[in-house]
Amino acid sequence: MLLAVWLLGQTPPVQAQVQASTNAERLEWWNREIVTFRATVADAAPRARAERARQHLLTVPELEMDGNIHFERFTYQGQAGIQFLIGDRPLFPIVEADMNVDQRFKGLDAMANDVVSRLELARSAWQESRSANVLMTGAAKTLVSLTVGILLISAIGRARRYFSGFLERRRSMRVQQSSKMDWIELLDRLASRLLIIVQWGFSLLIAYGVYELVFSSFPLTAPIAQKSRQWLQEQLLWVGNGILMGLPDLVTVAIIIVVSRALSDLLGYFFDAVRSGRFYIPFLHPETITATRRIVLVMLWLVTVAICYPYLPGSDTEAFRGLSVLAGLMLTVGASGIVNQGISGLVLIYSRALRQGDFVTAGGTEGVVIEVGTLAVKILNYRNEEITVPNAVLLSSPIHNYTRMAATQGTLISSKVTIGYDAPWRVVHELLTSAAVASGRFRSDPAPKVFQRSLSDFYVEYELVLAIDDPMNRIDALSDLHRHIQDAFNRAGLQIMSPHFAFQPQEPVVIPESHWKR
């Protein structure tokens, strides 16, 4: 009856029962696991039972702590149970419903013996913690461990700083001695950064060793050190097993990458041969070789990544899937403008509208094309300004290429003047043509030609069209032509002007036939 009263914490009601519970509560004493309660007994949940047992263990008088730890069997509400005692003082009971699958297979007595052994170990720790020798030894170990740990971490820091300084000095000397990139300089910088990682790795290892030694030196904290050691061993074992299990997949990935690298080299050799003229492919032009090579290689490596992805360790985890979804979302939302520029660049390249070195007028900019990029074209104008024009802008505006036909019939340029009706048109034609010849900058084939573009109300618009071999000198050639035109008209006594009459003259403004020729 006294046992039942202890179980219930009060006079047992008539309807009290023992039932399994979904919530388990572990009982610990001196940081050591004793037993796990899984059953609800007389309306006392596992947590309430564990708290009651913990209070009983903490309130055991010191004089009774050396008593014999044993157990007694009982039956309650049709279930077998075990009551644990130290001397004559009850500690806590367990019932059959507290056993897990393995414990049911071994039996209730085996579980009771295991609990008694754990109680003995916890009591031994309690007794050791009251020993002055144990505490002094633990304090000495703690002091030595902390001192040695601090000295080792400090020594590692000094060694890292020494070697980093040496590498930095050597790198600075190489930078001063040569203006070109040196691979040894790059490796020195990489090694300097790796030394920091090595320093932190060894420092953390030493700190963990000090932590384990300190906690192992005292009976109360020894289980914490043991649990941390077990956790670290489990993690290392998990990493090791993951590496061993992933080795076949990593070998497969390496083979795929090697094959892709070989194909990449083969394709590079093929495109180089086409560029040099050793191979002829009808649909491959010299201007499109670079872009075609880039597209093919990008597609090759995208296929390589897609093939390798299932073999990468952790590719089937939620983290990898989330990363894939995030990357796809970023490309979908943020890359629309980039894709537009890239497609526009491909259209420009494969339409062969322009290429590097061409003299063009495009997007309101006139100059020499110095780079045809994936996203934009760079043009150098006559003021030596580098202008970047997005591909989409170029594609939506006319492109005047003055270089494309320069090798066959030269680049045509023109200059316009407006002369009054009192100047004979034959004389104007002769003067413009003679100015072009006097300049000496233009081709004789095709010969310079003058067109009368319009007969306006007040003047005639003349346009001189001629060809130049080098479109790069277009600005200088036009400037020199204009100087010669001015000189020719000045020598002929004809004014280069566009008259506007305030009133109609009384006599018709015409040129007598006698003045049609010089």
Within-domain flag for 300: no
| 424 and 367 inside one domain | no
Within-domain flag for 59: yes
For 202-223, the pLDDT digits (tens) are 999 999 999 988 988 888 888 8
CATH number, domain with residue 463: 3.30.70.100
The distance of Cα 202 from the centroid of its chain, to the nearest Å, equals 28
Instruction: List the domain range (segments joined by +) for residue 16.
Output: 2-129
Residue 87's region, left for phi above 0, alpha for psi from -120 to 50, else beta, is left
**CA torsion, points 248, 249, 251, 254, in degrees to nearest 10?**
180
Cα dist from 439 to 39, 445, 482, whole Å: 110, 15, 9
Quote the CA–CA distance of 136 and 133 in Å, as a whole number. Answer: 5
Within-domain flag for 289: no
Confidence of residue 345 (pLDDT cuts 50, 70, 90): low
| 57 and 148 inside one domain | no
| 109 and 89 inside one domain | yes
Within-domain flag for 384: yes
| 377 and 419 inside one domain | no
Residue 229 has pLDDT above 70, yes or no: yes
What one-letter code names the amino acid at 239?
A: V
Quote the CA–CA distance of 66 and 145 in Å, as a whole number. Answer: 33
| 59 and 32 inside one domain | yes
| Domain stop point among 220, 253, 285 | 220
CATH number, domain with residue 389: 2.30.30.60
| 61 and 177 inside one domain | no
Within-domain flag for 141: yes
User: Region 93-104: what's the mean pLDDT?
Assistant: 87
Beta strand 460-468 with 32-41 is: unpaired
Quote the CA–CA distance of 401 and 353 in Å, as a whole number. Answer: 7
**CA torsion, points 192, 197, 200, 201, in degrees to nearest 10?**
-130
| Domain stop point among 199, 220, 241 | 220
Average pLDDT, the chain: 80
The model's pTM? 0.49
Q: Which range is least confidently modeled, 177-181, 206-210, 236-240, 298-302?
A: 177-181
> For the chain, what is the domain count?
4
Quote the CA–CA distance of 228 and 226 in Å, as a whole number. Answer: 5
Cα dist from 256 to 250, 251, 298, 305, whole Å: 10, 9, 16, 9
What SS3 class is residue 401? Answer: strand
Closest CA to 138 of 129, 147, 149: 129
Within-domain flag for 515: no
Query: 347 and 357 in contact (C-beta within 8 Å)?
Result: no
| 182 and 122 inside one domain | no
Residue 166 has pLDDT above 60, yes or no: yes
Cα dist from 500 to 427, 461, 504, whole Å: 21, 14, 10
Quote the CA–CA distance of 370 and 359 in Å, as a whole number. Answer: 10
Within-domain flag for 148: yes
| 20 and 124 inside one domain | yes
| Domain stop point among 85, 103, 129 | 129
| 386 and 456 inside one domain | no
Confidence of residue 244 (pLDDT cuts 50, 70, 90): confident
| 64 and 182 inside one domain | no
Q: Which range is least confidently modeled, 8-22, 374-388, 426-440?
A: 8-22
| 154 and 106 inside one domain | no
User: Region 64-88: what's the mean pLDDT?
Assistant: 87
For 9-61, the pLDDT digits (tens) are 443 333 335 555 558 899 988 888 999 999 888 788 899 999 999 999 988 88
What SS3 class is residue 411? Answer: strand
Confidence of residue 332 (pLDDT cuts 50, 70, 90): low
Terminal Cα-to-Cα distance of the chain (whole angstroms): 147
Q: Read off the DSSP letter of residue 488.
A: H
Residue 409 has pLDDT above 60, yes or no: yes
